[in-house]
Structure 1
Amino acid sequence: MSMLSWYVIAAVCLLSGDVLTSDSELSELSVQLKHGGSLIGTTLKSYSGRQIRTFLGIPYAKPPVGELRFKSPVPFPPWQGVRNATEDGSQCFQMGFLNPLGPPEGSEDCLTLNVYTPPLYRIPKEGLPVMVNIHGGGWLGGSNDHRFFSPSYILDEDVILVSINYRVGVLGFLSTETLDCPGNFGLKDQVEALRWVKEYISEFGGNKNSVTIFGASAGGASVSHLLQSKTANGLFHRAIPQSGNILNPWSQPLHKGEAPRRTLKLAEMLNCSNEEKNWKDIAGCLKNLDASVLVSKTNSLTDWNGYPYFIFQPTLEPSHPEAFIDERPRDVDWNSQDIPILIGMTSGEGIMSTAALLSSDEILKEVKRDVSNKFPLMLGYDHFDKDKQKDITDELEKFYLKNGHSYDKNNHKNFTDMFTDSLFLAGFDEYLKKRLSSKAAPTYVYIFDMKVDNSVSQIVGGGDTYYGVAHGDDIQFLFPFYEFFGKKSELKGNSLVMKNALVEMLVNFASYGNPTPHGSRFEKWEPATKYPWNYVRMGVIDDEGFHVFKNEENYASDRFDFWRTLQPHVEH
């Protein structure tokens, strides 16, 4: 590298607040990519105080603006000279998580990723395993912001961590079910990011032949979609879908006709519709509107209390070379998923939905007065005709609410189980049954059942009431995201033990395809090999009898039997 380049790098680092005092420190934070351009990064500290080489806001695709809106991502072109990588890129345009009724936040120029590595002396010649995190957010929001998805826990281990942004909401998942706007742009962004990882991660010290994708909620569902899509073949080698998969009603492709119906509703609000339903003209009109106008209309597409929550989600595309999904997941041969996976969920996933209901007497009364309309909307079977909806509602009441609608914040387990099973567990069981019947590679299954400080149930419920182990509680042991909300919680005792164990086992899996390989300090985590699936229960709801995990069998089999008969989310 020329002396001029060293001066440029030093100047950038001084401006970003990192004072460099030697050539070795400059070398640590400089990465030259094979196309000739360079990146200069910064440093963070891991939980135990280790240095983290940090490269933020790296563009992997061109900004999807103008003619590139509602199009597949285009790789970011090479650059010359040094590019500053010391600040996060913008989050993709979305309604604010903390202020959902406020103005949209973010930018369309958002297709960036972050890379975190240990110091160079800890990176072997063959490179380190790579873990690529895909954020959640219900297909509507989220980002890879390093303050939210902090690398501080995972980078206590020797692994490369990559976190990515992708388009969300209307800009990421609008669809006309035609080639004018086929949809799934956010998922296509993820594929492009993985192509970037394959091309460039070795220059950061990563092993491009050892890539594990992982994520929770919509991130977990994205992982299972990537497992299924031919467009992602060969881009990763192991997968960890958490609290979401391709067969959950909010993740599977929308029922035929639903995506264009919602697109037309949006177009009518924005004076972009026409009597002929000419999708080319409608898509062209929406493409020319200001992005903030499009995003701000998202809340107007819901029917009641923010439902249906998943307005924009994956869709079935017409067959074309860039299609991410062109077959229904249940119709596809799953032998293509022949790589190891580690899959899990919490014991109370449905609390994400019920905590907010149970915490409002007024809303809860409204649900109880009008279950015939509210249950289909909240539980994802409102696409059926009214008679079919009533039949399903009757069956749900018989199975979960034998004592009538007597549930409240102090008596909600059956009510919460109904949401857990409909939105998560039924699809989880169906996914495993289908995968295990195809004689796939090793499959490790967990149910997370440990109480955590700052539980998502308390954040969503807006108070001190603890409803159980909620959606996202396990992820707090991988990323300290509660700090993003201004909350402090010192890990100690069993919580610290669980954090260390979960991080170590997931890094083991990313390294060896096994969370407890030979020589591990843990007992053997038995993989699931047949249906009904065995699993490990992680943690305990209180400190008494604490264990990191226990091998168990026969989880909630009566509930699985019920949903296999009901099938309210399967295409008929």
Structure 2
Amino acid sequence: MKLSLSVLLLCAAAVCVTCEQPPSDEDWLELDTPQGPVRGRRDPDADHLYSFYNIPYATTPVGENKYKPPLPAPVWDKPFDAVDKHVICRQTIMPLNLMPPGLVEQDDCLIANVYVPDTRKKNLSVLVYVHGGGFVIGYGNLMKFKQFLETKDIVLVTFNYRLGVQGFLCLGTEDVPGNVGMKDQVALLRWVQKNIASYGGNPDDVTIAGYSAGSAAVDLLMLSKSAEGLFHRVIPESGGNLAGFSIQRDPLEIAKTYAKQLNFTNVDDINALEKFYKTAPYELLHSDSLNDRYDSTFVFSPCIERETTKDAFLTESPLSILQKGSYRKLPVLYGFDDMEGLVRIHFFEDWKHKMNEKFSDFLPSDLKFKSEEERQEVADKIKKFYFGNKPVGNDNILSYVDYFSDVLFTIPMLWAAELYVEAGNNQVYLYEYSYVDETTPTVPHTNVRGADHVAQTYAVMDGLNIYNQNKDITNIGFQIMKKTVRQLWYNFIKTGKPVPEGSSLPAWPAAGANRAPYMSLAQESELRHEPLLETRYRFWEDIYQKYYREPIPPPATSAQSRHEL
């Protein structure tokens, strides 16, 4: 396992998950819910909260049915003790700092965690956080947001969803339709609509947020007809629905290629391919980290389903939906960090040589070319834009960071932001987060500091910061930054605006179609009126107008084609 996976996947400090003291009777809170009575306990780390863990929001199909959509949640008559059993979904091996002792991988993993303020008030705002991890690893409680709830007027929900092959294998067959990881998320949102009032939350006041792949997920949820009406505001943090890693370009080809890596060769027989995936042990299916691909994907991610698929999550490409404007327009708090590409910094010493040998291998997956010569021509153009006539090396490592910032995160999000506004959404609040201080490491071979991937999420979550999670230090500057960011997020959750009328914070109007104005969130935050990353955006706009590769659904089998006729 390479170190960069821990950065990409938003490493949380390892903690003991088996050393809590048993609660006393007065620590319990019992609630009547549509599923049955549920007992949570006062949180030992935050006495302003009651924590309800491990609540099954759906039932996971298992065995050879493991690629099917989620089944209804169970119900019960006797009180359900909602204690943390540390359940996570099947996934590739995680770094040790993401795998504290006691986490339990299991098939039936679709559980929600609900954090309820200790208050008599009802109809509280609801925040649902989708975890990151490249769609291949992670779990609902990977990040902690208990301090954010100190205002006692927000109910927080975190949850697991199926990952990697089991969540996002997409064959287009009845047993492997695709997108079950996203259908899990829709099931969670439906569970919230049905159950959250019992926990003090208002089902008509739901904000969904996510970081990294979770950010791309909530951005996709906004476009899905299956999720329409289940939430009311959206906070994508460093990840967008137009990113190459967000949608498989050719899911059947990806399934074939991965099966070959696992030494299965009869990949052109769709029935045999399906049987292989349905019967292969999970240890084999999750044996690849899926993190070192040159094309800025993590292999398995959401897909475009066939239009005939029952209960499909997405049957049209995000770009097509955005261009048509055929989705519900909601308030969106949309942004990224100034050095997102640091997520790839741990590959630099190896990749700089490979990029000089064949830069075309590092083009993003969402480009297509008529010939190898055309591909090489475009690769040369892109390499020259970022690195001039010099080889990729130590003296231009910041350009390496910019390149991976752009192909993974910034350009897709700016493109979507522009399309949102062009389609009539006048509630898109755009930002770039760039806060750094003396605890932030410098970029190798430089004296420059920048905000790493999902640094803004670390400002919202508990703890000090991404770099010093285990150190008991006082960082006044970062504490002030956390207070500001939390206030902006709180305002947006409560009002749909990061800076509502009457706020003491600097005014923050919605963005126009030119990606401005936007808020620069830094040591000295300020509203900026020039288009965000204008030169880099216009360069890629030209590239994508000529070479964009639309994702395609898996083709129908011959039997499906006869049935549809």
TM range (shorter): 0.7 to 0.9
Task: Please report the TM-score for the alignment, with normalisation by the length of structure 1.
Answer: 0.84
CA distance in 1, matches of 2:479, 2:549: 41
Q: CA deviation at 1:552?
A: 3.5
- Do residues 396 (structure 1) and 396 (structure 2) align? no
Which residues in structure 2 correspond to 1:136-535 (within 5 Å)?
A: 136-145=132-141, 148-157=142-151, 158-251=153-246, 253-255=247-249, 258-270=250-262, 274=266, 277-296=268-287, 298-299=288-289, 309-319=297-307, 320-332=309-321, 333-353=324-344, 355-358=345-348, 360=349, 362-373=350-361, 375-376=362-363, 379-380=364-365, 384=369, 385-405=371-391, 407-408=393-394, 411-451=396-436, 467-480=449-462, 487-488=470-471, 490=473, 492-535=475-518
**Segment drifting more, 209-218 vs 74-83:** 74-83
**2:505 corresponds to which letter in structure 1?**
F
Q: Can you list the C-alpha shifts for 1:258-282, whole angstroms capped at 9, x where unaligned?
A: 321221233345565537x332342
1:60–1:113 CA contact under 8 A, matched in 2: yes
1:212–1:240 CA contact under 8 A, matched in 2: yes
Q: CA deviation at 1:441?
A: 4.4
Structure 2 SS opposite 1:351? helix
Distance change (3 Å), C-alpha of 1:511 and 1:538: same
**2:24 corresponds to which letter in structure 1?**
V
CA distance in 1, matches of 2:438, 2:155: 28
Q: Can you list the C-alpha shifts for 1:380-410, whole angstroms capped at 9, x where unaligned?
A: 35764422321221111221111411531x5
- Do residues 571 (structure 1) and 550 (structure 2) align? yes
Q: CA deviation at 1:480?
A: 3.3
Q: Give the unaligned 5+ runs of structure 2.
A: 1-19, 552-565
2:248–2:301 CA contact under 8 A, matched in 1: yes
CA distance in 2, matches of 1:17, 1:267: 46
Q: Can you list the C-alpha shifts for 1:392-433, whole angstroms capped at 9, x where unaligned?
A: 21111221111411531x542222212212222221121011
1:52–1:119 CA contact under 8 A, matched in 2: yes
CA distance in 2, matches of 1:464, 1:395: 26
- Do residues 20 (structure 1) and 14 (structure 2) align? no
**Segment drifting more, 241-250 vs 82-91:** 82-91
Q: Can you list the C-alpha shifts for 1:301-329, whole angstroms capped at 9, x where unaligned?
A: 78x67766411011111112311110111
Q: CA deviation at 1:223?
A: 0.6
Distance change (3 Å), C-alpha of 1:321 and 1:454: farther
2:459–2:482 CA contact under 8 A, matched in 1: yes
Q: CA deviation at 1:20?
A: 3.0
Task: Please report the TM-score for the alignment, with normalisation by the length of structure 2.
Answer: 0.85
Q: CA deviation at 1:71?
A: 0.5
Aligned partner of 2:95 among 98, 108, 133: 98
Q: CA deviation at 1:128?
A: 0.8
2:439–2:468 CA contact under 8 A, matched in 1: no
CA distance in 1, matches of 2:448, 2:147: 25
Distance change (3 Å), C-alpha of 1:305 and 1:63: closer
Which residues in structure 2 correspond to 1:1-12 (within 5 Å)?
A: none
**1:135 corresponds to which letter in structure 2?**
H
Distance change (3 Å), C-alpha of 1:402 and 1:307: closer
Q: Can you list the C-alpha shifts for 1:172-196, whole angstroms capped at 9, x where unaligned?
A: 1111244442211111100000011
Distance change (3 Å), C-alpha of 1:44 and 1:334: farther
Q: Can you list the C-alpha shifts for 1:327-354, whole angstroms capped at 9, x where unaligned?
A: 111222325231111101011111111x
**2:115 corresponds to which letter in structure 1?**
Y
Provide the residue aligned with 2:532 in structure 1.
Answer: 555
1:108–1:291 CA contact under 8 A, matched in 2: no
CA distance in 1, matches of 2:414, 2:293: 29
Q: CA deviation at 1:472?
A: 1.5
Which residues in structure 2 correspond to 1:115-154 (within 5 Å)?
A: 115-121=114-120, 124-125=121-122, 127-145=123-141, 148-154=142-148
Identity %: 28
Q: CA deviation at 1:490?
A: 3.6
Provide the residue aligned with 1:9 in structure 2.
Answer: none
**How many corresponding residue pairs?**
522
**2:522 corresponds to which letter in structure 1?**
G
2:516–2:529 CA contact under 8 A, matched in 1: no
CA distance in 1, matches of 2:328, 2:85: 33
Distance change (3 Å), C-alpha of 1:90 and 1:161: same
Structure 2 SS opposite 1:318? coil
**1:79 corresponds to which letter in structure 2?**
W
Distance change (3 Å), C-alpha of 1:60 and 1:137: same
1:455–1:470 CA contact under 8 A, matched in 2: no
- Do residues 66 (structure 1) and 66 (structure 2) align? no
Q: CA deviation at 1:535?
A: 0.5
CA distance in 1, matches of 2:266, 2:549: 32
**1:107 corresponds to which letter in structure 2?**
Q
**1:260 corresponds to which letter in structure 2?**
L
Distance change (3 Å), C-alpha of 1:522 and 1:371: same
Aligned partner of 1:78 among 75, 92, 103: 75
Distance change (3 Å), C-alpha of 1:444 and 1:351: same
